[in-house]
Structure 1
């Protein structure tokens, strides 16, 4: 919280300094670094202080059904990119597939599109409130247990990372809306892990990463005429200080992967395996992706499936990593499709993608066959139809 200690808190000063330019541009005004010295009482930060102090009511999601962590998980669903002002028809389609849980893994609302630079994140709060008002969403929440993590548009601003000055308020808004677990509320960021199942040989560890709160700024790449424009970022963002998850989250992840599990679901809001574009993805930080692969390779047993969103399109991906086949299922978006599948697939050729690049509205489901150690990965359209499907076996270390 920004208070009278701001002058002596180098972390807060650094975060605010990094975001002053963005705030100034959005607000069409000038906020100098000198404003940090008067931030506790100055107008630009008054709304932030009020919200952090609890003087502003924050929206809450409709009451959700709790997840029974003793069940044997055999089917779950997930999705991303849900705009609060668009049709909420997909909730019924997801529920009709009868998943035991649903993971909403980023861009759960679009709270940055009307942001004017204000420190109180009014647009983010109103976007959550609008989402909470939908009866389709409330009905779904009452039927299907949910787990969540965030991405940029429900974090604060497009492609945002650790330098976002108001991320502590953004986190508070998120945790209040989703009634986050004590595990999430106990530390910076929104990452968490759950283990589902008590039957021997059928335990699923769900690891929900936070690729926003700690992530280093991305480097812009040079323009290239070799292919259609597929994102602005460099693939050479390296160096000792470059991080995707931050030191504390990396240490936590290593500890989680040392716990026993028979199948691990590793959720990243942005794509992991692909090298086919220059938008946000783990490929922008090759050292960090190599570190992730190394940790996954050192896990204490069990299979691994990567889940991701973000792209407003979905597909199934495959990569050979350390002698095993790694699979990733990307699902996006629930109600904010941009292109058609045929043109999008042609626009983004990818040898690591084994399906078309499904660009119409979609959500993902995974069926677990414990006897065969097999996963059936599906992308389903807005009428519940199968758009892409693969059955794959996992490697248990």
Structure 2
């Protein structure tokens, strides 16, 4: 259904007038009405104002704040958590005693069962179900949590900035995760924080790779579909992943004093080994990201990502620097349990480990005396799948 038709249908169902397509004012020195081009999310604004009064917005529940003075030595993270799947990983992660846990995308699968309603009822129900799990509630009551989103909690598989319901998806996200006033004050859910005393400052940057992202370039249809996705790299300089405002914000954040930076992207950054979603779809934007990261105020750096329902460690040399990326996915929605087969299916010179298809989560351990960072992937029994250390 076309977004404008969807909006008009929704307004009619609620007894609201459809958004006007023409401005009330006239063009200067003319009696011809001026056509106004409204984005789909602007057309839907009156509907959401009404819906906000009628529904209960799910919340994740109580969560301790992370003190800005904390010296971080262990951080855990994960992605791809289905609200209807077993929640067994929370107890395993809790046993690792992280000081901070990061949900980095597909934190629920709210587009499962979505019937194109503008109210994203399936997403709202997904959040409510996730909040009801005692395993999740108990974990959240003990460990500080921060979050960014990916497509399935943004609202629709592989969706980006043209998704008509993105602003309502954003409001559901920000309410559920109790987003900061800074995040709530601007479009998108990107955020940043600095924790720790001077000499041990960790900056966590949560990118939003959904709200502003340009449409993907699709391969032409054929009977022989590619085994690893259907998107092509798009070097069009007008295409974006982060959008102009978020790019400017990122450069400002990277200019702040910090000793170690953790950059979170919901989709993978380094790899070119597949044609699914990732920064590989936008090579010009990825080159820009490498340059911006290389120009940061002096600090260590680690990139985190999820999305793939498999995990691995990646390394590349770009812009005169070595970049490391740790991908962890998924917490409870693995698409297989044969790590060797998964590895063979996706050969990748940038990946330094196997490609682990079992359920998994990631750990980051920081040794401040030696300035060494250790990345660890843990499986669904918390056994170590892979580990890699580097000094900065």
Structure 2 length-normalised TM:
0.89
Judged with a 3 Å threshold, the aligned counterparts in structure 2 of structure 1 residues 323 and 111 are, in CA distance, closer, same or farther, namely: same
Greater per-residue strand proportion: 2
Residue 238 of structure 1: how far off its partner (Å) = 2.2
For these two proteins, the number of residue pairs brought into alignment is 366
Residue 162 of structure 1: how far off its partner (Å) = 0.3
SS in structure 1 of the partner of residue 231 of structure 2:
coil
In the other structure, the counterpart of 2:311 is 314
The counterpart of 1:334, out of the listed 331, 335, 338, is 331
Following the alignment from structure 1 to structure 2, what is the Cα–Cα distance between the partners of residues 347 and 11? 50
| Residues 148-297 of structure 1: pairs in structure 2 closer than 5 A | 148-198=147-197, 200-222=198-220, 229-235=227-233, 237-297=234-294
Matched, 1:94 2:93: yes
Q: CA offsets, 1:51-88, max 9 Å, x none? A: 2x433211111211111121111110000000000000
Following the alignment from structure 1 to structure 2, what is the Cα–Cα distance between the partners of residues 353 and 99? 26
Following the alignment from structure 1 to structure 2, what is the Cα–Cα distance between the partners of residues 190 and 263? 22
Residue 289 of structure 1: how far off its partner (Å) = 0.2
Contact residue 207 and residue 265 of structure 1 kept, 8 A: yes
The counterpart of 2:39, out of the listed 14, 24, 30, is 14
Following the alignment from structure 1 to structure 2, what is the Cα–Cα distance between the partners of residues 314 and 390? 13
In the other structure, the counterpart of 2:142 is 143
The counterpart of 1:357, out of the listed 347, 355, 358, is 355
Residue 372 of structure 1: how far off its partner (Å) = 1.5
Following the alignment from structure 1 to structure 2, what is the Cα–Cα distance between the partners of residues 202 and 4? 55
Following the alignment from structure 2 to structure 1, what is the Cα–Cα distance between the partners of residues 174 and 38? 24
Residue 247 of structure 1: how far off its partner (Å) = 0.5
Following the alignment from structure 1 to structure 2, what is the Cα–Cα distance between the partners of residues 103 and 206? 10
Contact residue 219 and residue 231 of structure 2 kept, 8 A: yes
Following the alignment from structure 2 to structure 1, what is the Cα–Cα distance between the partners of residues 20 and 372? 53
Q: Deviating runs (4+, > 2 A) in structure 1?
A: 1-17, 48-51, 221-228
In the other structure, the counterpart of 1:392 is 390
Contact residue 263 and residue 303 of structure 2 kept, 8 A: yes
Question: Could you list the runs of 5+ residues in structure 2 that have no partner in the other structure?
Answer: 1-6, 12-16, 24-34
Following the alignment from structure 1 to structure 2, what is the Cα–Cα distance between the partners of residues 8 and 370? 61
Contact residue 60 and residue 132 of structure 1 kept, 8 A: yes
Following the alignment from structure 1 to structure 2, what is the Cα–Cα distance between the partners of residues 307 and 129? 27
Contact residue 110 and residue 154 of structure 1 kept, 8 A: yes
Residue 15 of structure 1: how far off its partner (Å) = 3.4
Judged with a 3 Å threshold, the aligned counterparts in structure 2 of structure 1 residues 6 and 370 are, in CA distance, closer, same or farther, namely: farther
In the other structure, the counterpart of 2:297 is 300
For the aligned residues, what is the CA RMSD? 2.3
In the other structure, the counterpart of 2:133 is 134
Judged with a 3 Å threshold, the aligned counterparts in structure 2 of structure 1 residues 70 and 11 are, in CA distance, closer, same or farther, namely: farther
Judged with a 3 Å threshold, the aligned counterparts in structure 2 of structure 1 residues 58 and 101 are, in CA distance, closer, same or farther, namely: same
SS in structure 2 of the partner of residue 292 of structure 1:
helix
SS in structure 2 of the partner of residue 180 of structure 1:
coil
SS in structure 2 of the partner of residue 329 of structure 1:
strand
Following the alignment from structure 2 to structure 1, what is the Cα–Cα distance between the partners of residues 290 and 361? 26
Following the alignment from structure 1 to structure 2, what is the Cα–Cα distance between the partners of residues 54 and 181? 22
In the other structure, the counterpart of 2:30 is none
Following the alignment from structure 1 to structure 2, what is the Cα–Cα distance between the partners of residues 189 and 223? 32
Following the alignment from structure 1 to structure 2, what is the Cα–Cα distance between the partners of residues 352 and 241? 28
Radius of gyration: which is bigger? 2
Contact residue 15 and residue 162 of structure 1 kept, 8 A: no
In the other structure, the counterpart of 2:28 is none
In the other structure, the counterpart of 1:24 is none
Contact residue 228 and residue 347 of structure 1 kept, 8 A: no
Question: Could you list the runs of 5+ residues in structure 1 that have no partner in the other structure?
Answer: 18-35
Following the alignment from structure 2 to structure 1, what is the Cα–Cα distance between the partners of residues 37 and 351? 41
Following the alignment from structure 1 to structure 2, what is the Cα–Cα distance between the partners of residues 350 and 371? 34
Structure 1 length-normalised TM:
0.88
Matched, 1:50 2:75: no
Contact residue 41 and residue 167 of structure 2 kept, 8 A: no
